[in-house]
Amino acid sequence: MTHKLRKAIRNNAPTLEYEKSLWAEGKEIIVGIDEVGKGAWAGPLTVGAAIVPKDKRLYRIRDSKLLNEEEREFLFGPTSEWCVAWGIGQASNDECDNYGMSTAQKIAARRAIEKLPIKPDHALIDGNWDFVGGLIGKNNVTKIVKGDAKCLSIATASILAKVTRDRIMREQGKKHSLYSFASNKGYPCPKHKKALEAQGPCELHRKSWAFMDQTRFPRAPKPMKDPMQGLLFQN
């Protein structure tokens, strides 16, 4: 593929504005965090954590949703090498079923942060809900709505998480070809819905989700109400 960005996304670059502000306050290790797979019907919930350098830029970084699959794959290698440190954490579809999406997101975030070889001083997270505060400190988290489009660290994390999860789903697509995971990555689409109606869920599906009510197969029990006691510190 060409090294040039498509014209449509050329001017939509995330910046280091948030990181620079925190560095000026004396916070040295800033981690950007983003999740992918939250709305999927199958596969893991995946969280990326990325610490970017102060003195080097990789100018093709964009929100992973703005990039196509080929562009993301092309950027994965240079991005992972450019980072000071990065980590990926995942919560399985069974954990999403057993504990609910909010807890699964915290589990995946904890696993991503634990993969980092250095401890962050502050986290920048995409969205308006703090799912990492208990891991770094509630006063050491900045929530940024549409952060993957605005903040370089979060955009970096979004690419690393998206490519990692997509690769898993493409590989699983070889085993579960009926559901077209290689193309839909576990998200709803006509082929995926048709396969569910005909075959029912496979081992990767989130069987407690509402989409199961649209099939002739039983929906799993809803997640536990309060599974948090000690859970985040389990492997």
Instruction: Please give the structure tokens belonging to residue 234.
Output: 């389990």
Residue 93 contacts residue 125 (beta carbons within 8 Å): no
Residue 233 pLDDT: 42
Residue 85 pLDDT: 98
Q: What is the domain partition of the chain in residue ranges?
A: 16-173
Instruction: Please give the structure tokens belonging to residue 40.
Output: 């999927």
Identify the CATH class of 16-173: alpha beta
> What letter would DSSP give residue 60?
T
Alpha carbons within 13 angstroms on the beta-carbon side of residue 120 total: 37
Instruction: Please give the structure tokens belonging to residue 113.
Output: 């942060």
Chain centroid offset of residue 53 CA: 21
Segments of 92-162 assigned E as strands? 122-126, 141-144
d(CA 43, CA 121): 31
Q: At which residue do the structure tokens 């960005």 appear? A: 5
Residue 62 contacts residue 163 (beta carbons within 8 Å): no
Instruction: Please give the structure tokens belonging to residue 28.
Output: 């040295």
- What percent of the chain is predicted at pLDDT more than 70? 91
Sign of CA dihedral 139, 22, 157, 82: negative
Q: pLDDT tens digit string along 127-173? A: 999 999 788 877 899 999 999 999 999 999 999 999 999 999 999 99
d(CA 166, CA 46): 10
Q: Output the pTM of the full model.
A: 0.91
Q: pLDDT tens digit string along 172-195? A: 999 999 999 999 999 999 999 999
Asked if the model's pLDDT at residue 120 lies above 80, the reply is yes
